[in-house]
C-alpha cells in the first residue's frame, strides 16, 4: 500500500512538474472567467498580431533610417506604421480574434512607433544641436506617449468613446513626422530657429498627449451605411491632393487636428463665461 501511495504521489508530482515546465516555456496562456468557470486559452491569434509586428518593424526602420540621416524614409515609415496600427485592431474585431495579449502587444508597439521613433528621428535631425534642451524635449514626447497609452488602457469603457482624452499618440507622431519630412525636403535642419521650432512642436505634442483636452475620435462615423455618390468623388479628390504633396498635406492635417482640441476647449470656456455673466 505504501508503495502504491508513493507511486501515485510521484505521478501527481510528475504531472505537476510537467504542467509547470509547460507554463515556464515560451507559450502564451491566457486565463478568462466565463460563466463562473476559469477558462485557460493557449497560444495567440496570428493575423492581427502580424499587423502589429509589421507596425513595430516599420517604427524600428524609422529609427534606423533617422540614424543614417534618411529622414524622408524615416518619416514615411512612421506614417506606414500608423496605417498598420489602425488595421490590426480592425482586423481583430472583424475576425473575432481579440485577446489580452494582442491589446498589450499593440500598446507596446504604439509606444515605440508613436513615442520613441518620432522622438529619436527628430533628435537625430536637429534637436541634438540644442544640447540638454534637445534631449529633454525628446524625452517629453517619449514619456508623454507612455503616459497617454497607459491612461487610455485604464479608461477603456469608462469614458465617452466619441472623444479621446488628450491628443492621441498617432496624431502626435503625425505632427512630428510631417515636420521632419518638410525639414528634409526644404533643407531646414541647419538653422537654430528650425531647431527651436522642432523643440516646441515635439515638447508641445508630448504635453498635449497628457492633457485633459478632448479630441473627437471619429468612432461614431458609420462607414457601412449608404452615402451619396458624390462621397466617392470627394474621397478621390482627397487622395489626389495628398498624392500631389504628401508631406505638406499630412503635416497640415495632423496639425489642424492637434490644434482643434485646444481651440474647442477655449470655445467651451468662453461659452460658459458668457453664460455665467
Q: Note the pTM of the prediction, 2 decimals.
A: 0.84
DSSP secondary structure, the chain, as one string: -HHHHHHHHHHHHHHHHHHHHHHTSS--EEEEEETTEEEEEES--HHHHHHHHHHHHHHHHHHHHHHTT-HHHHHHHHHHHHHHHHHHHHHHHHTT---HHHHHHHHHHHHIIIIIHHHHHHHHHTGGGGTHHHHHHHHHHHHHHHHHHHHHHHSTTTS-TTEEES--HHHHHHHHHHHHHHHHHHT-TTSHHHHHHHHHHHHHHHHHHTS--EEE--TT--TTS---THHHHHHHHHHHHHHHSHHHHHHHHHHHHHHHHHHHHHHHHHHHHHHH-
Tell me the per-residue pLDDT of 98-151, one tens digit each, with 9 for 90 and over: 888 888 999 999 999 999 999 999 999 999 999 999 999 999 999 999 999 999
Q: Is the pLDDT of residue 177 over 70?
A: yes
Q: Hey, where are the domains in the chain? A: 12-42, 46-270
Lowest mean pLDDT among 20-29, 41-50, 219-228: 20-29
CATH placement of domain 46-270: 1.20.120.1760
Amino acid at each position: 500500500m505504501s508503495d502504491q501511495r508513493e507511486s501515485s504521489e510521484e505521478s501527481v508530482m510528475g504531472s505537476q512538474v510537467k504542467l509547470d515546465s509547460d507554463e515556464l516555456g515560451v507559450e502564451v496562456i491566457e486565463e478568462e472567467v466565463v460563466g463562473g468557470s476559469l477558462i485557460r486559452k493557449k497560444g495567440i491569434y496570428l493575423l492581427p498580431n502580424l499587423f502589429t509586428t509589421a507596425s513595430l518593424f516599420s517604427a524600428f526602420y524609422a529609427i534606423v533610417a533617422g540614424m543614417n540621416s534618411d529622414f524622408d524614409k524615416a518619416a514615411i515609415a512612421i506614417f506606414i506604421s500608423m496605417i498598420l496600427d489602425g488595421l490590426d485592431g480592425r482586423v481583430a474585431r472583424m475576425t473575432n480574434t481579440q485577446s489580452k495579449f494582442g491589446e498589450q502587444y499593440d500598446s507596446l508597439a504604439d509606444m515605440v512607433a508613436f513615442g520613441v521613433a518620432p522622438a529619436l528621428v527628430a533628435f537625430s535631425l536637429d534637436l541634438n544641436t540644442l544640447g540638454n534642451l534637445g534631449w529633454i524635449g525628446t524625452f517629453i514626447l517619449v514619456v508623454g506617449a507612455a503616459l497617454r497609452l497607459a491612461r487610455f488602457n485604464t479608461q477603456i469603457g469608462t469614458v465617452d468613446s466619441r472623444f479621446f482624452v488628450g491628443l492621441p499618440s498617432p496624431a502626435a507622431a503625425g505632427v512630428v513626422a510631417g515636420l521632419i519630412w518638410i525639414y528634409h525636403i526644404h533643407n531646414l535642419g541647419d538653422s537654430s530657429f528650425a531647431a527651436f521650432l522642432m523643440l516646441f512642436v515635439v515638447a508641445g505634442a508630448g504635453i498635449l498627449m497628457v492633457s485633459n483636452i478632448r479630441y473627437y475620435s471619429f468612432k461614431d462615423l458609420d462607414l457601412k451605411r449608404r452615402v451619396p455618390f458624390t462621397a466617392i468623388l470627394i474621397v478621390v479628390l482627397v487622395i489626389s491632393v495628398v498624392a500631389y504633396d504628401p508631406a505638406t498635406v499630412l503635416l497640415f492635417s495632423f496639425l489642424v487636428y492637434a490644434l482643434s482640441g485646444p481651440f474647442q476647449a477655449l470655445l467651451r470656456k468662453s461659452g460658459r463665461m458668457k453664460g455665467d455673466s
